[in-house]
Amino acid sequence: MDLKNRVEQCLGPKNFVVAMTECQGDLSVEVPKRSVVDVMRLLRNTPDLGFNFLSDLLGVDNLDLNKPKKKPKKKTEEGEGAETEEEPKDKGPSPPRYEVVYLLLCLERNERLQVKVRVEENDMEVDTLTPVWKAADWPEREVFDMFGIRFKGHPNLKRLLMWDDFPAHPLRKDYPLEGQGEERHLIYDD
């Protein structure tokens, strides 16, 4: 049985599968945010899946993907500040802005699986994975550092790469590439 069916069989009955996509042989499964730790435990402990190795954990900002397609922007003094104010062509609710991707690996069968969690902009908190895999420690800190997604229950949720009182989250798509944008435009309060 191929991996997709096995994952479906394992997670399906509990309604953990929101969506499943495949890209060039990489299977990725989207699961609800609140049950991510349960999903991971399930994936880890189910004998015919056995994803016992957390390869990596990363965040993605889908701001530009969700935005309607437009002409390539020209650089202005205001940078991105002006860009976000363009008229939103709303067709239905836009998908949540952030996602957290877990890259799992099964050492016995050398199978890889991407588990995805969508994170809304107004509820930026995901349960931590550190009780399941200690390897999630720094990657979670880095996602917090770079995107501002908080991990509930993380033992030491501090910035990892940037210094502690850095005011912004640089891997967000609205973080300007040049200049000291973080000081002029973006002061997040979290």
What φ, ψ does residue 38 adopt, rounded to 5°?
A: -60, -40
Smallest separation, CB 107 to another protein (Å): 6
Alpha-carbon 148 to chain mean position: 11
Say how many residues touch another protein, by CB under 8 A.
Answer: 37
Rounded distance between C-alpha atoms, residue 53 and residue 42, angstroms? 13
Binding flag, residue 180, another protein (CB under 8 A): no
> For the chain, how many residues are written?
190
User: Which residues neighbour 157 within 8 Å (Cβ) at sequence distance 6 or greater?
Assistant: 140, 141, 144, 150, 151
Binding flag, residue 103, another protein (CB under 8 A): yes
Q: How many helices (H) and strands (E) does the chain have?
A: 6, 7
C-beta of 14 vs 153, nearer to another protein: 153
Binding flag, residue 2, another protein (CB under 8 A): no
| Contacts with another protein, 124-153, as mask; x by CB under 8 A | ---------xxx-xx-------x-------
Residue list 21-60, contact with another protein (CB under 8 A)? 23-26, 28, 52-56, 58, 60
Which amino acid, 125? Answer: E
Q: Which residue, chain included where needed, has tokens 């299977």?
A: 27
Smallest separation, CB 13 to another protein (Å): 27
Smallest separation, CB 137 to another protein (Å): 5
> Which runs of consecutive H residues, i.e. helices, occur in 12-152?
36-45, 63-66, 80-83, 137-147
Residues within the interface to another protein (CB under 8 A): 23-26, 28, 52-56, 58, 60-61, 64-65, 101, 103, 107, 110, 112, 114, 133-135, 137-138, 146, 159-163, 170-171, 173, 175, 177
